[in-house]
Amino acid sequence: MMIILMGAPGVGKGTQAKVLCAKLKLRHISTGESLRQAIKENTSLGSQVRQYVESGRLVPDQLITRMVIERLSRNDLKSGCILDGFPRNTQQARDLDKFLSAKITSAYMVIYLDASEKTLIQRLSGRRLCKKCQAVFHLVNMPPKKDMRCDFCGAELYQRPDDKEETIKNRLRIYQEQTAPVIDYYAKQNRLLHIDANRELKPVLKECLKLLKGRGNHIRLPKSDLSPARAGSGSRKICLKFCPLPPNGGVPPTAAKGIFFLKERDDFYKVRL
Ligand SMILES: [Zn+2]
């Protein structure tokens, strides 16, 4: 199972991804982490990425897509993963679908953590970092014990220039322009789980888990959806380790070398039993 986690800066995506991964035993794939790893391993992609990072230029979208796809192709993701920070625009979403449609790896769904601009600004502008150990604090949600000093090492706290209100507004505007169309893209595919992330971390996490369990990665197939070869045994529970095909009204459940098509709501899935 793959889950794509989407949401604006400050919505708590990274934290939710970490906890969800631990609870659901999934791997956490964040774009930032993948960039750092590629550079460290000095792969051919990694050395290209390094040139951009070292000269302080933005890594081009296409390079990021190639890197994420390379990461998803490794065989340590059998139990599934959470993708965090990707895709950022509809081109990347399309490229990802193109890659997935050629594989029978896993179904995926998209969790959209949605919070108001007011909430996001309040969260980001309250963030303070330790100058020495980089520990993160928050003036409202996680204030330091001693006035503006790090709880762990006692060093002074500071605000990242990125977290000043004018800069935040700009970051949110860029996010809206680039990423809001991706939300639409997934909504049209019927994959979007919409979650109100104006609340605290815990209730948001609880709802994520509830929604994911509701969809589940197991379904019970009715007899009519099974290939003729299996239909004799009645309904059975199968693991949804497959890749959704684009909706196609004309495709009947078809058996072919253990692969058949399954219709769930309005989507067709290619299934291997
Ligand atoms: Zn510190």
Residues 214-229 pLDDT 10s: 554 443 333 443 333 3
153 pLDDT tier (thresholds 50, 70, 90)? very high
Residue 118 has pLDDT above 60, yes or no: yes
260 vs 201, more confident: 201
**Domain extents for the chain?**
2-115+165-216, 217-273
Quick check: 210 and 238 in contact, CB under 8 A? no
Average pLDDT over residues 63-91: 88
Most confidently modeled range among 21-25, 148-152, 206-210: 148-152
What phi and psi values does residue 122 have, to the nearest 5 degrees?
Answer: -60, -40
pLDDT for the residue 74: 83
What is the whole-number distance in angstroms between the Cα of residue 155 and the centre of ligand 1?
5
CB 271 within 8 A of CB 238: yes
Q: Is the bond into 244 cis (omega within 30 degrees of 0)?
A: no
Higher pLDDT, 173 or 25: 173
In this prediction, residue 86 has a pLDDT band, given cuts at 50, 70 and 90, of very high
Active site residue 173: no
- CATH code of domain 2-115+165-216: 3.40.50.300
The predicted structure's pLDDT at residue 103: 65
> For the segment 4-42, what is each residue's pLDDT rounded down to a tens digit?
999 998 898 888 998 999 888 889 999 888 888 888 998
Span from the CA of 261 to the centroid of ligand 1 (angstroms): 55
pLDDT band at residue 107 using 50, 70 and 90 as cut-offs? low
Active site includes 265?
Answer: no
Active-site residue, selected from the candidate residues 40, 131, 146, 160: 160
CB-based contacts of 178: which residues, under 8 Å, 6+ apart? Answer: 88, 89
CA gap 113, 122 in Å, rounded? 16
Closest to 191 measured CA to CA, from 76, 100, 71? 100
Instruction: Please check whether residue 201 is in contact with residue 120, taking contact to mean a CB–CB distance below 8 angstroms.
Output: no
pLDDT value of residue 177: 93
Q: Which pLDDT does position 25 carry in this prediction?
A: 84
pTM beyond 0.75 = no
Query: Has 88 been annotated as catalytic?
Result: yes
Residue 149 designated active-site: no
The predicted model gives 109-117 an average pLDDT of: 92
- Indicate which residue of 27, 36, 169, 171 is catalytic: 171
- 269 CA distance to ligand 1 centroid (A)? 50
Å from CA of 161 to ligand 1 middle: 18
